[in-house]
Each structure stands twice: as structure tokens, then as C-alpha cells.
Copies of this chain bind each other. A is one copy, B any other.
Amino acid sequence: MTMSQAPDSAVRTYIEQHRTTFLDDLAEWLRIPSVSAQPDHAADVRRSADWLAAKLRETGFPTVEVWATPGAPAVFAEWPADDPAAPTVLVYGHHDVQPAAREDGWDSDPFEPAVRGNRLHARGAADDKGQVFFHTLGVRAHLATTGRTAPAVHLKMLVEGEEESGSVHFRSLVEEHADRLAADAVIVSDTGMWAEDTPTVCTGMRGLAECEIQLHGPDQDIHSGSFGGAVPNPATAVARLVAALHDEHARVTIPGFYDGVADLTDRERELLAELPFDEEQWLRTAKSYAAHGEAGHTTLERVWTRPTAEVNGIGGGYQGPGSKTIVPASAMVKLSFRLVAGQDPDHIEKIVRAWTATRVPAGIRYEITFAAATRPCLTPLDHPALRSVVRAMGRAFDKPVRYTREGGSGPAADLQDVLGAPVLFLGISVPSDGWHAPNEKVEIDLLLKGVETTAYLWGDLAQNWRHES
């Protein structure tokens, strides 16, 4: 007998029965210090990939491969559905972790997992091994409780090994294997939710375009007494350029910057307003002393739904102790632009170049360099896969699921780009989990809610999407 939807009690019982083995296995993986940014851990990153590959085979995936890159390897797994008409879902995560050392302020060895209360502490517990790993018990629970031998969707997983060192080879890896990775939807399990008592699903990430502008004035630093006030100063020029980026309403002034950016719909505003947002608390997290941003938008709208122009670094002239009375030879600024749906990084580069060209004063020479850009992602609110995620999460948490977005930018956009599939975000981490910080942890209860969510998800998704599409 197979059931497209198992009763919740059966799923919970199954998870409860396998909880100890699941946590023991995860602990074993967490003991491998797969720090991709540190060359002396390269063997550990490879060991982590091999460990995961073995575990995915043990889980039942008929195809599991370790894909080499010029850097750290990724793990690919595939489990076809019985029904060839079932939708294909690609789960994304990563098996590398941030650096960690006991002396950074950890209460125990970051690579010796420690359970304290409901928390599992280890580097990678939340970011991202824990959130990759809940998919293994999730698919087992899905099969066991529905009597299936294969998942209700055609299930693929891609777990990269370089996310914490910039995903340098990720895009070319995805391009190389685009046919193997083809999917109707991508589910990224490398984000989090609003709070322990507020399950949420993230529906978009901002994109990112970055540039550096170098401005050159005199051929060398010159005496400000002899020449000051009569030649253009590149530090003044860079400041005037940066100051001109925003108008008095903190809107970006570059002509064409908002091209394609849609106003939030009433529904989108309502969904954001449903979140129990406390600005004072948010400011404490931001370690900042005031909220400030584009007029006409709330703080959450600003960080999640609006494009920005931000100065990441500025410099020029003498910055040491005391003073040096010069007109500096050069100055520079590093700018990053967060992008939202409708904005195209190539267009942004073009208009930033044009705007800069019109604003640099006579006598100042300049160069502008753009780094590789990341496109924004946005899941349509009425996408059937999104509805399934919300429904599955709601069942697991037994609470209404709210909607968030992510202000940052990530390699998920490459998947959307190359595969042409919508990207959805399913994560159970909470802000207190301490990503990249000492004493990183995952809440064990939430981790098991992640298992439970995926145990419901594949059946719901197969049924729902087939009906609606």
C-alpha cells in the first residue's frame, strides 16, 4: 500500500524512533573539520564529501557521485520517482564549514559535537551540515510512512564544498552538469527562519553587483600649501561621487537604477507586516544606533525587498597618525549594489559606468572594475512548490507559516540562472544559531521539524503540482 500523504502521527513516530541514530550520524559528520577556506583542511573537505556520499547511498539514493572541481568536491545524488510525470526537485546545500578554533571563544571543541539541553553545538551544526542532513531522515520517513520504494518526486541533491570560500567553482560546475541537475524547482536548505516560535519560508534573495572605482589626481601626492585649492583633489572627487549616490530620501540617484523594480503588492506588504518585528531588537542585532534608509519603506522592506547602493570601503591619501598636508594622488571606493527581482546586473554595470563618467570632474582620471555579479531570486507567492513548502512546514510546526526574504546574495541564484528553475528556501535555523560565530548550534527540536517538513513535502508537492500545473 502506498499513500500520497501519511498521517502526521506516523511520521512523528518514525522520526522519534530514528532520532538517536540520526543525531549520532550527524555528529560523526560534524567531527570532520571540512573548512574549505583553509588549505590544510583540503583532505578533510574531501573526507566530508566521501562521508556524505556513503550516507546518501545508505539512505537509498541509487545514484551518488562525488564531483571534483578545481577546488573542493561536491556531492550529487539522484533518486528517480516511480512516476515519470512527477516533478523534479533539486535540493541544494553545502558540506564545507567556516573556520573554528576553541580559542575563538568556544565552550567546547568546535569539531567535537556537544549536546547541551536541546542544542547540538558544533561548527556546521546549522550552517549547513544539519540542514543538509535533515533531508536524509526526511526522505526515509516519507518512504516508510507512505509505503513507497521511491520518493513521490524525482529527487536530486547537490551539496557543494566551497560555499564558505566563495563558491568559486560553483557556477561552472552547475553549467558543466546542467543536464544532470535539470529540475522543476530548486529547494535551498541553507537559510533559516524568523524565530523558534515563528516558522517562516524565505521567498527571495537579493542579487549583488560590486565595483571598485579608482580615481587619480596628481601623478604623486603634492603639497597642499603649494597647490591646494587650485587642482582637483581625488579624495574630494570620490566623496562627491559617493555623496551623489543617494538623494535626500536615501533613494539611489543613478538614472535607470530602479528600472524593472516593481512596487511591493499589498499582499507582499501584508505578509511582511505579519512578522513580529521589533525594530529596537533589530537595531541591537545590527549593532547600529538608528534605522536609516529609503523613504517610504519599513526596515524589513529596505533590507529584503529594495535595491541598495552601499559603500563597503573608501580610501585615499594619508590615513596614518597625525597629519600630512597633501593633495593625494589617488582615492578609491568599493561599492556594492544589492539587487531585487527585475534588475539585471549587466544593466546596472552599464548605468553605473555611464553615471560615473558624467560625474568625475575634469583633471581626474579613473578606472572602474566590476566583479562577477549575482542575480536576485524571487519565488512567486502563488507558485505551487511554494504552497507545498508552506503547507508541509505548517503541518510539521503546527503553526501558521509566515513569509520572509533574505537580504544577502548567494550561489542559489546560479542554480536559478543556469537551470531556469525557481528557487525556494527551506531552512530551520534561527538567528541565535551563531553562523560563522563561536558556539554555533542547532536547536534539535527544530532540526527534527526540518526532517518532518520534508517527510510531508515530497508527497504534497507531487500531488499539488500535478493538480495545479
Contact = CB atoms under 8 A, between A and B. Distances in A.
Interface in A219-244: 219-220, 222-233, 235-236, 238-244
A230 to B, nearest CB: 4
Tell which of A231, A240, A303, A315 has the most Cβ of chain B within 10 Å.
Answer: A231
Given A226-B408, A227-B303, A303-B226, A371 B286 contact: no
A335 B324 CA distance: 10
A225 B406 contact: yes
Given A246-B236, A286-B231, A407 B226 contact: yes
Interface string A322-356: 11111110011110101000000000000000000
B334 A317 contact: yes
B235 A292 contact: no
B286 A312 contact: no
A50 interface: no
A407 to B, nearest CB: 5
A293 interface: yes
A315 to B, nearest CB: 4
- How many monomers of this chain does the complex have? 2
A307 B361 CA distance: 21
Contacts of A299: 230
A246 B346 CA distance: 34
Nearest to A305: B229
A176 to B, nearest CB: 25
Contact of A331 (B210, B241, B314, B363): B314
Interface in A271-315: 283, 286-294, 299, 302-303, 306-308, 310-315
Given A210-B325, A243-B239, A228 B303 contact: yes
Interface in A233-277: 233, 235-236, 238-246
Nearest to A235: B311
A146 interface: no
B313 A235 contact: yes
A365 interface: yes
Contacts of A288: 217-219, 222, 227, 231-232, 363
Given A246-B236, A303-B230, A322-B371, A225 B338 contact: yes
A76 B363 CA distance: 47
A315 B323 contact: no
Contacts of A217: 288-289
Interface in A344-382: 361-365, 371
Most buried by B among A228, A242, A308: A228
Interface in A81-96: none
A51 interface: no
A229 B310 contact: yes
B319 A313 contact: yes
A29 B394 CA distance: 91
A371 to B, nearest CB: 6
Contact of A239 (B225, B233, B311, B365): B311
A229 B405 CA distance: 15
Given A222-B288, A313-B319, A308 B228 contact: yes
Nearest to A286: B227
A291 B225 contact: no
6 contacts: A212-B323, A219-B287, A231-B283, A232-B290, A239-B243, A243-B243
